[in-house]
Amino acid sequence: MKKLYLLLIFSIAMSVIACNSSVKDQNTTEDKENQHLDMELKGKLSLFSALPDTQLYQTDLFSPKVKLGYMLYYDNRLSKDGKNSCNSCHNLATYGVDNLPTSPGDKGIFGDRNSPSTLNAALHASQFWDARAKDVEEQAGMPILNPVEMNIPSEAFLVERLKEIKLYKELFAAAYPNDKAPISYTNLRNALGAFERVLITPSRFDQYLVGKSDALSLQEKRGMLDFANIGCITCHNGALLGGGMVQKAGVHGDYWTFTNSKKHDEGRAGVTKNEIDKFMFKVPSLRNVEKTYPYFHDGSVTDLSQMVKIMGKMQLNYTLSDEQTADIVAFLKTLTGDVPEQFKKAPHELTAN
């Protein structure tokens, strides 16, 4: 009986040793793969850059100009019949989008293009899918006057409306203390732009870029390496992984054959009237792409994996395997950041005015 007991103890001990050895071997293998991936990625990192540290913006969060822009962003009175605010289509509680293919305006009419996210938008080289605005300040004034969007008849109409509101008399005066007439359309655009400039969303990806190797998992690193090696990085690079150029939608075939889109949007050519700009669109940023579905300029694809496969074939003539797609999707999810909680709801002052 004693021998049987000792044999049992010996068997358990050997099992523990074997298990520990297996775990150690597994850890060693993972460590080696991590080191290998880090070395492979090291040569690619110069094509990316981290987002600005949000601590740089902390003082701006409470500046009079940002406070004014925050108020205007949520105010339905920036639309003619009071049915829409900037936040209606660019909802900060859902990563700066409304998750609709296209968005309804003040009159209930849907626009032609998907509403891009306002998060990190201030860092883009241009604004709108057709790149027709140079910055967020210029962009902010355009939807307000668009009859399909917010439908305000004129700049003067909105300025006169805001002049009747005590809250805005105080906020504009505080934000533009040196102006004789602080409530102006130019100041409105600039205040909205100032607010958007604090909507920066660093993520785990940025931690990896500044040297924190364990910020990404093995799968995420594999996805990042595939993303770079396949060629996605050609257009989706820099701090935003996009947002810096215009590119043809459909390099290796007609865009609509890949997405089943009904409308053949001619993109930037609608602005420039140049044949060379047909089907050219601003390359979107991939920041928060996990949350900013549906995808493409017409919101024609809702699934992230499907979008990745379409892009591989349509833009690079590359057929991604299911494993590669899953790895790239895992990598793209590391680009998800967030904004301060206070900005995800309307300012309390609006309910009283």
Give the separation between CA 240 and CA 256, rounded to whole angstroms.
Answer: 26
Is-contact 29 222, C-beta < 8 A? no
Q: Is 160 a catalytic residue?
A: no
Give the separation between CA 350 and CA 353, rounded to whole angstroms.
Answer: 5
Give the separation between CA 85 and CA 149, rounded to whole angstroms.
Answer: 10
Question: Which residue of the set 30, 33, 40, 149 is catalytic?
Answer: 149
Give the separation between CA 27 and CA 36, rounded to whole angstroms.
Answer: 14
| Bridge partners of residue 301, in order along the sequence | 295
Length of the chain: 353
Alpha helices in the chain (DSSP H): 2-42, 64-74, 86-89, 136-145, 155-163, 166-175, 185-196, 204-209, 218-230, 255-259, 269-272, 304-316, 322-333
Is-contact 69 194, C-beta < 8 A? yes
Task: Give the catalytic positions in this structure.
Answer: 149
